[in-house]
Chain A
Amino acid sequence: MDGDEFKSRFLPFNGLIYRISFAITCDMQEAEDIVQEVYEKLWKIRETSATVRHDEAYIISITRNMALDRYRRKLNRQTIPASSLYDLCEEESEDNNMEHKEMLGNVEILLASLPQSQQMAMRLRHFSDLPIPQVAEAMQLTQTNVRQLLSRARRTLKEKFENIYAK
């Protein structure tokens, strides 16, 4: 498989890889690094990966594993409190749109109180804008399970706003 063939087959997935990586690491630079790593791996195994039937599922799988590895390594290095994911995003974000960062931060603060699986489902669906089937693939869950996680998370967020306005 030459470069052009490889590009036409795998390059369209760069956005998906980036979105999943970002949803897991909450770090734009890390997400870009993971995209490069994933493509490096795909390049190395491109002859054997010719037999892979579902490129998308395969790419989501290796992206998830790489992103989780990096995220865990980072957590071990920095010992980040679970509630301060927003700080991590704010510190290392290259996004100059402060309003967007503030919004992202607000959501992160709200999400931080949710269970990890609900947070991940919400990030993948709403931050990374992935459709339910891809969220399910990235989380290795069924679509029904993902819908349940999203449902609980959305209801909890609504309750939080209602509580704010009730005061």
Chain B
Amino acid sequence: MQNKIEILIDRFYKGETDSKEEELLVNYFTQEPGSLQGDADRNVIQLLSSAKISVPSGLESKIASMIDRWEVQEKKRVMDRNRIEFRKRIIGVAASVLLVIGIGFWYQYRNVENQSGLKETFDTPQESQEAVMEALQLFSQNFSKGTGAMEKADEQVDKTLKIIDQLLNENVVNTESNHTSQNK
């Protein structure tokens, strides 16, 4: 046993021991009675083994709860992002529908405006009456213009006829006077 320990100590200083072998050494020096005084090997091995740190007991659960928190936060972020995306989509669709309806209304309104001259009926009797009066007045004015021109033409014709009559009368008078002079 002692020989085995000596070999292990030798390998320890050469850096050749593994964790299990070093544990054997630590156990040996812990269990085997002996004084630290004057024993450099015992000092080195016990000092190094006693300097081992331990991981805080609550560390794992602390990290686990942190991970849970991150997961919740991330899910919330994803949900918020999806909600925003959904809203954007809805707003987009609503805007498109409004645009289509707007174009439809505008197109129809424009057609109605174009067709308003061809309107056949009126909403109220007053409007109907006014429109009739206006139409008759227009007709009357145009008709008056037409009759005015006719009157002028009639006058011209009368004048011409008078001139013709006058000329004819003069000719008749002249021929009668010639006949009488010949007879004489």
Query: In this assembly, does B16 line the interface, its C-beta being within 8 Å of a C-beta of chain A?
Result: yes
Residues of A within 8 A of B49 (CB): 126
Give the number of A-B contacts (CB < 8 Å): 99
Query: In this assembly, does B165 line the interface, its C-beta being within 8 Å of a C-beta of chain A?
Result: no
Which chain A residue has the least Cβ–Cβ distance from B42?
A: A161
Most chain B CB within a 10 A radius of its CB, from A14, A36, A131: A14
* B51:A165 contact, CB within 8 angstroms: no
CA distance A164 to B70 in the complex (A): 54
Which of A53-61, A62-70, A71-79, A144-152 lies at the interface with chain B?
Answer: A144-152
Q: Which of B15, B40, B53, B68 contacts A3 (CB 8 A)?
A: B68
CA distance A101 to B164 in the complex (A): 154
Most chain A CB within a 10 A radius of its CB, from B38, B60, B63, B71: B63
* A35:B59 contact, CB within 8 angstroms: yes
Interface residues on chain B, number (Cβ under 8 Å) = 31
- Chain B residues within 8 Å of A, Cβ to Cβ: 12-16, 18-19, 37-38, 40-41, 43-44, 47-53, 55-56, 59-60, 63-64, 66-68, 70-71
A146-B15, A154-B15, A158-B44 are known; give 19 further A-B pairs, CB within 8 A: A3-B68, A11-B60, A11-B67, A14-B60, A15-B59, A39-B63, A39-B67, A40-B70, A43-B67, A104-B51, A126-B48, A127-B52, A127-B53, A128-B52, A129-B52, A151-B16, A154-B44, A155-B13, A161-B40
List 7 contacting pairs A-B, 8 Å CB cutoff, sorted by A.
Answer: A3-B70, A11-B64, A32-B56, A106-B47, A107-B51, A127-B53, A158-B40
